[in-house]
């Protein structure tokens, strides 16, 4: 039995409608095995929370970075609301501890899956908005993102382009991108690597760097720029 009071203490929130809190953690697999459960799955709350999260983050970036152009603001926002970031935040809040999962999903490590954690984070935001309004949802979101925003302001972090591209591609129902080392030149103590990112055999970007990891990151950045330009303001 889930202790929702313990959950609220951990999140530092207090819901008026406990049903919304329960719904935020209800995975579809749980409902399939428990048809008598009073709440629907968290998918609709996830949809709402996703929109609210994007709005709040966009508003904050607009205020905090008055000199940044639209393209850079879009990149930063996308990195802050992508699945990997949301899963990291959800993990720090231990949201997996309160997920309501079916037996199969539980057995398959569902409490630690990035997709389940990210979805629960968005659903929680949607539930908080419905229960207490935009101001409370804003405070909750910005409290979680504060460390990352401070690093961005200090110039200590850059967008995770590999994660951004992967999430965008998966959103198109296409296979996961793969990286290919094209060449490595120069002496052993000062090699220069060149890598490509491919999707279904198509090269989306190429990058170079002093390590394979850097080259792949630069290739992903080139791919992200291409995808962003061809799709307008990409929502990830």
Residue that is written with structure tokens 């279904």 in the block: 200
pLDDT at position 234 over 70:
no
Model pLDDT, residue 235: 40
Which of 22, 46, 50, 216 is catalytic? The answer is: 50
pLDDT interval class at 124 (50, 70, 90)? very high
Q: What's the Cα-to-Cα distance from 210 to each of 170, 178, 179, 187, 188, rounded to whole Å? A: 29, 20, 16, 11, 11
- For the CA atoms of 144, 148, 159, 70, the dihedral, rounded to the nearest 10 degrees, stands at 80
Topology of domain 163-231, CATH: Double Stranded RNA Binding Domain (3.30.160)
pLDDT at position 186 over 70:
yes
pLDDT at position 236 over 80:
no
Catalytic residue status for 50 = yes
pLDDT at position 126 over 90:
yes
Six-digit token pair at 216?
Answer: 């792949």
Q: Tell me what the pLDDT averaged over the chain comes to.
A: 91
Is pLDDT larger for residue 58 or for residue 3?
A: 58
pLDDT interval class at 232 (50, 70, 90)? low
CA 112/CA 121 separation, integer angstroms = 13
Backbone angles phi, psi at 26, to 5 degrees: -85, 100
pTM for the complete prediction? 0.78
CA 196/CA 203 separation, integer angstroms = 6
As a whole number of Å, the CA-based R_g of the chain is: 20
Percent of the chain with pLDDT over 90: 71
The lowest-confidence range among 11-15, 116-120, 175-179, 223-227 is: 223-227
User: Where in the chain do CATH 1.10.1520.10 domains reside?
Assistant: 4-153
By the 8 A CB rule, do 202 and 227 touch?
A: no
User: Where in the chain do CATH 3.30.160.20 domains reside?
Assistant: 163-231
pLDDT interval class at 231 (50, 70, 90)? low
pLDDT digits (tens, 9 = 90+) for 84-118: 899 999 999 999 999 999 999 999 999 999 999 99
Is pLDDT larger for residue 141 or for residue 165?
A: 141
Q: What's the Cα-to-Cα distance from 167 to each of 60, 121, 182, rounded to whole Å? A: 23, 16, 24
Which of 22, 75, 105, 122 is catalytic? The answer is: 122
By the 8 A CB rule, do 174 and 165 touch?
A: no
Q: How far apart are the first and last CA of the chain?
A: 34
pLDDT at position 78 over 90:
no
pLDDT at position 233 over 80:
no
Superfamily of domain 4-153: Ribonuclease III domain (1.10.1520.10)
Catalytic residue status for 188 = no
CA 222/CA 166 separation, integer angstroms = 13
Residues contacting residue 139 through CB under 8 Å, at least 6 positions apart: none
By the 8 A CB rule, do 45 and 20 touch?
A: yes
pLDDT interval class at 17 (50, 70, 90)? very high
């Amino acid at each position: 039995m889930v202790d929702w009071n313990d959950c609220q203490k951990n999140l530092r929130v207090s819901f008026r409608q406990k049903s919304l809190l329960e719904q935020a953690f209800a995975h579809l697999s749980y409902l399939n095995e428990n048809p008598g459960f009073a709440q629907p799955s968290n998918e609709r709350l996830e949809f709402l929370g996703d929109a609210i999260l994007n709005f709040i983050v966009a508003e904050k970036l607009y205020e905090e970075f008055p000199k940044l152009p639209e393209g850079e603001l879009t990149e930063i926002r996308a990195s802050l609301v992508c699945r990997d970031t949301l899963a990291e935040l959800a993990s720090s809040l231990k949201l997996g501890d309160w997920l309501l999962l079916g037996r199969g999903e539980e057995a398959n490590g569902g409490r630690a899956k990035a997709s389940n954690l990210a979805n629960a984070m968005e659903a929680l935001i949607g539930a908080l908005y419905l229960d207490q309004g935009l101001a409370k949802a804003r405070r909750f979101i910005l409290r979680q993102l504060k460390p990352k925003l401070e690093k961005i302001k200090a110039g200590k972090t850059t967008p995770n382009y590999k994660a951004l591209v992967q999430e965008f591609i998966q959103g198109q129902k296409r296979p996961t991108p793969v990286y290919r080392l094209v060449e490595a030149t120069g002496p052993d103590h000062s090699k220069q690597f060149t890598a490509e990112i491919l999707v279904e055999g198509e090269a989306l970007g190429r990058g170079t760097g002093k390590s394979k990891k850097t080259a792949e990151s630069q290739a992903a950045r080139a791919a992200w720029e291409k995808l962003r330009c061809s799709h307008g303001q990409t929502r990830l």
